Amino acid sequence: MLWAIDIGNTQTAVGIWNGDAWAAVWRLDTDHLRTEDELAVHFKALCELDGIPKTADQVVMGSVVPSINDVYLDYARHRLGVEPLLLQTGAQVGVDVAYQPPTAVGADRIANAVAVIEKYGAPAVVVDFGTATTFDVIDAGGVYAGGSILPGVKVSAEALAGRAAKLPPIELKAPERAIGRTTVESLESGIVLGYAGAVDSLAGRILAELGNPDTPVISTGGLGSVFLDVCQSIQSHDEMLTLDGLRMCADRLS
């Protein structure tokens, strides 16, 4: 069993790979106060719930929250009996990074690059909808060329509701029309359709700079499926892209 752990700012995704498929995928809040013992309780219960053994042959981890790393690393060492592999830079896994400094690219973005090249080829663009929405651009030579970072759509919506007393929080879903006839419809239009327009605009500029309008644009991340049908630039949604990338990186790190 391989455990792939993707620690994000809001959620931590944990996938259990049995050699042929993902036997389980769990999402936990990224909690700065969670202890190793608490992790042990959570994972024991989740393994029992999904009927899989709590064992590991490999553990690979990527994180954008360094303050949490030690808890998960110690869990792997003490509870799973495995020395974990920590993805930190493109150089570790053979990804050339044209970014200054190269070490500033998050582990999740490196994992996305590895997976998209393997699964879709190069060039490619990944749009990862998380706490922030990131664009990862892979050029025709397989080089991580750079990207773009937007405030996440959920973060933006929550900030608006928190600052405007008469605007309610909404479910993030695409409305039937752009002209809202209620406050909720108007928010859905502005937040979802407006955000989709921003994604399409950035994607269009990126593809123009790459000089290849046929470059595939793949979405991932928790909210990526919401925008698949409203963003004209996104061809497909790959929910497992980052975990697949971490899984692929394990062989390169070991």
Q: What is the DSSP letter of 51?
A: T
Q: Measuring CA to CA, which residue among 153, 185, 155, 193 is closest to residue 168?
A: 185
The Cβ of residue 185 has, within 10 Å, a number of other Cβ atoms equal to: 16
Q: What are phi and psi for residue 190, nearest 5 degrees? A: -65, -45
31 is catalytic: no
Rounded to whole angstroms, the Cα distance separating 124 from 115 reads: 11
Rounded to whole angstroms, the Cα distance separating 87 from 61 reads: 6
Please count the CA atoms within 13 angstroms of the CA of 176 that sit on its side-chain side: 2
Q: Measuring CA to CA, which residue among 54, 53, 64, 101 is closest to residue 86?
A: 64
Q: Among residues 6, 20, 108, 136, which one is catalytic?
A: 108
Structure tokens at 54: 């709590």
Residues noted as catalytic: 108
